[in-house]
Amino acid sequence: MGSPVGCPTMPLIQINAQSRVLRHRAKVGTKQDERMKTTGILMVAVLTGGVGLMGCVMQPQDPGEQVYQNLCVICHGKDARGTGPLADDLAIRPADLTQLAAANEGVFPSSHVMAKVYGYPWRYQLPVMPEFGPVLEGETVLWTDETGTQVETPLALVQLHDYLKRIQTP
């Protein structure tokens, strides 16, 4: 689930405060006054809040970013620059994932990233990089590597790959 973007929180606070005022006024007025005030204030609050919420859109979180947040942030950090909470405690500092293309003559090393993340222990990585293959199992898709070869690949891995490719900086 994503997070609300452009959604004001004030109208909800205003509605709550207005309802408290209404309850206080209702204690001192008649029942007819209470109903009229309740209806009037709630209509104003809903209409005012409704106008403010018209631009409120639930934006789905990028699925690749979600995989990154769940698996990678602890070492690579929120900024993907190798600054995660565990970075200083590791024998080898985590890679700056925003510089993978820059370190490869401007070309994102797709197959290398896929192999490194999926994990082939002792083959493509040092033992500090966890093997995420089993964690990423689930729905698969055909992914085409740089040579044109199609490989059945976990969808979550493809989504993570695509996210990392998008966050590259020169």
| Residue 13 sits in the same domain as residue 75 | no
30 versus 170: the higher-pLDDT residue is 170
| Residue 43 sits in the same domain as residue 87 | no
Q: Is the pLDDT of residue 28 over 60?
A: no
pLDDT of residue 26: 43
The tokens describing 66, both together, are 């979600």
| Residue 51 sits in the same domain as residue 74 | no
| Residue 36 sits in the same domain as residue 73 | no
Confidence of residue 170 (pLDDT cuts 50, 70, 90): confident
| Residue 80 sits in the same domain as residue 98 | yes
Contact 103, 88 (CB under 8 A): no
Domain containing 17 equals 3-59
Place of tokens 């590597």: 145
In the chain, which ranges are E strands? Answer: 3-5, 57-59, 140-144, 150-154
| Residue 99 sits in the same domain as residue 48 | no
Angstrom distance (rounded) from CA 122 to CA 117: 13
- 6: nearest Cα among 50, 45, 71, 55: 55
| Residue 51 sits in the same domain as residue 76 | no
Confidence of residue 25 (pLDDT cuts 50, 70, 90): very low
| Residue 55 sits in the same domain as residue 75 | no
* pLDDT tens string 49-59: 444 444 555 55
| Residue 93 sits in the same domain as residue 40 | no
* pLDDT tens string 106-126: 999 999 899 888 875 545 445
